[in-house]
Amino acid sequence: MGVKDAIITVLEEAGEALHTQDITDRILSKGLWKSTGKTPTATVSARLYSDIKKMGEDSPFILHAPQTFGLKTFGLPDKTAGDAQPKGTSLKANQIQTKTYSFTDSAEKVLEKFGKKRPMHYRAITDKALELGWLVSEGKTPEASMYAQILTEIKRYRKRGEQPRFVQHGKGFVGLSRWMGRGLVFEIEQHNKKVRQALHKRLLETEWDAFEELIARLLAEMGFEEIEVTSRSKDGGIDVRGTLVVGDVIRTRMAIQVKKWKRNVQAPVVQQVRGSLGTHEQGLIITTSGFSAGARKEAARPDATPVGLMSGEQLVLLLIENGIGVSRRSHDLFELEELSNADPGTNASAPVDQLNNTEIQKSPSE
């Protein structure tokens, strides 16, 4: 029996709404479902929230109270629908299921609310995010996914010269970088911010031919092949064509228009690019500025070929991430080792550890 059928069976037998912990205990005690994970309650909770979110009115479940679910046949008030409360009753704001978040966004929310400026283990972060309904995951190991995505974000931010949202403290513990104060990391971030601004200014001052070649070089670093800078008189609004290759398996033909502008790109430009696409091509607009709300809406129109949008801010970050237009410097940071006659109850390197925010990456299995 699948977990969904097991939940329905338990709720039908109970005839009333139950907390997810109670649902899980009854499922396991009756042998209706076996969990291979370490947190079966989190799996049951995620399955319930996910079913309500995906199925909507077709879901057999309702959220009656925080982590408390029933069947619609019970006739209970559905808190996910924002039903009006009977007179004389009240519902606290945190009892209503709110929107769900990505793994990293939910981790940030958990740390902000429950971390008290102290690191939390990624398993505890995941459990709390699932418990509160901030995170919905149908995977068997959501805690491993959580840790992997946090580490990936830290690595990506560092490659771009940005201060990551998270700090890895080792042994699976994670904190928020904003808790570190205005130390060395803050000074580095301020320096890198000035470099990003200077690079953006330099892009605007670059001659057009050199700018197009720069974009072609970036596309090559991003995994594009068969890159061709088109003739201006024949491009129909397309400046570069290429094929995005992912893992030697997925090949997507892209037509790219480049705008070295200070003003935002508007919807007609998106329409022009879409009209210039060849057979089986997708569009991409790269600009040194930004995009209007109309342009973003037009690019995402569901009944038309999608057009990707890369703003000036994203362009700068990708150039830095791929080492184009900047050089990366690193410095050795020395730490004291414990001497043979040192007091074993002291940790001489602790102050340095607090200063150094560049930890060695650990594997998600820790």
Closest CA to 236 of 288, 271, 194: 271
The 10s digit of each residue's pLDDT in 110-134 is 999 999 888 999 999 999 998 888 8
The arithmetic mean of pLDDT across residues 40-64, rounded, is 82
Would the pTM count as exceeding 0.85? no
Q: Residue 15, class by beta-carbon neighbours within 10 Å (0-12 exposed, 13-18 middle, 19+ buried)?
A: exposed
Segment among 27-36, 132-141, 166-175, 351-360 with least mean pLDDT: 351-360
Distance CA 135, CA 262 (A): 38
Closest CA to 268 of 288, 291, 286: 291
The 10s digit of each residue's pLDDT in 186-228 is 677 778 888 889 999 999 999 988 888 899 899 999 889 888 8
- Give the confidence band of 34 by pLDDT, cuts at 50, 70, 90: confident
Helix (H) or strand (E) holding 8: helix 3-14
Output the pLDDT for position 120. Answer: 92
The arithmetic mean of pLDDT across residues 280-290, rounded, is 93
Distance CA 220, CA 206 (A): 20
- Give the confidence band of 84 by pLDDT, cuts at 50, 70, 90: very low
**Core vs surface per residue 80-98: b (16+ CB within 10 A) or e:** beeeeeeeeeeeeeeeebe
**Which of 3.40.1350.10, 1.10.3210.10, 3.40.630.30, 3.20.20.370 would CATH assign to domain 203-321?**
3.40.1350.10
The 10s digit of each residue's pLDDT in 228-267 is 888 664 445 788 899 998 887 889 999 999 999 999 999 9
- Give the confidence band of 308 by pLDDT, cuts at 50, 70, 90: very high
Distance CA 130, CA 143 (A): 10
Beta strands 173-176 and 166-170 are antiparallel
Output the pLDDT for position 337. Answer: 65
* Residue ranges of domains in the chain: 3-83, 103-180, 203-321
The arithmetic mean of pLDDT across residues 303-326, rounded, is 90
